[in-house]
Amino acid sequence: MIRKLAIAAAMTVATASVASAQDCTAITVEDAFDLDETQINVLYDCLQEKMATGYAKEGDDIGSNYRSWAATATRPAVAGPHGNRLLNTFANDVAAEQYLKFEEEGFEMPIGSVLAKESITVSIKKKAARPGPLFIMTKVGLDEAPDAGGWLYSGLQPNGKVMKVKQSFCHDCHVGWEAQDSLGYPLEEVRVTQ
Ligand code: HEC
């Protein structure tokens, strides 16, 4: 038991300090919530180019451009929903000003707002992290999306292909934040402060 713990500790140090191409996606934790800031930054450094290249692969407009948008968080974080993945949201020009206020009521995002959220899938079983989908919300207005609070939910697979998305699946959860226009926002500790 003690030996096992020692090995685990040694591996954690190795994961945090050596970001080589082979092992930088390795994880030693038993739960995605146990990843600390250093480990998350190592994973993100290791995977971010692969993610961006993958989402852009099929030429999708959002998948090709979201990286030039406003960052809303200082690093990815695990919120729980979205499969315990590490999440990191970007806001386009139309969305950024309002979104970055992280207001809790009394506003509506302007039509044309787009939020694109990178995700990293953390496989406890495989002891490795890999790119997950790019989750997207586009404000199209109530005329076009009366049942989804005026939002169109979509996504790209890590290889850039369009995901099949059931609007009610996404919105049934997001509507829980109805007062803040169905937005979940990044965890408070990683929000970009203006
Ligand atoms: C079980 C609840 C749940 C479901 C289902 C869900 N989401 Fe989310 N979503 C969240 C939470 C919580 C956040 C905020 C946490 C974070 O981003 O760190 C969020 C954030 C987002 C964001 C960033 C904008 C924001 O809300 O701040 C996008 C884009 C997004 N989700 C898209 C989707 C799409 C597309 C689907 C369906 C394929 C979906 N979500 C399904 C809970 C959910």
Task: Report the alpha-carbon distance of residue 194 to residue 185 in Å, rounded.
Answer: 15
Residue 28 half-sphere exposure, CB side, CA atoms within 13 Å? 17
The response to whether residue 117 sits with its C-beta less than 6 Å from ligand 1 reads yes
Instruction: Assess whether the C-beta atom of 100 lies below 6 angstroms from ligand 1.
Output: no
Provide the domain limits for residue 44. 2-190
How many domains does the structure of the chain reveal? 1
Q: Report the CATH number that the domain containing residue 145 is assigned in CATH.
A: 3.50.70
For 68-104, the pLDDT digits (tens) are: 999 999 999 999 999 999 999 999 999 999 999 999 9
What is the pTM (predicted TM-score) of this model?
Answer: 0.90
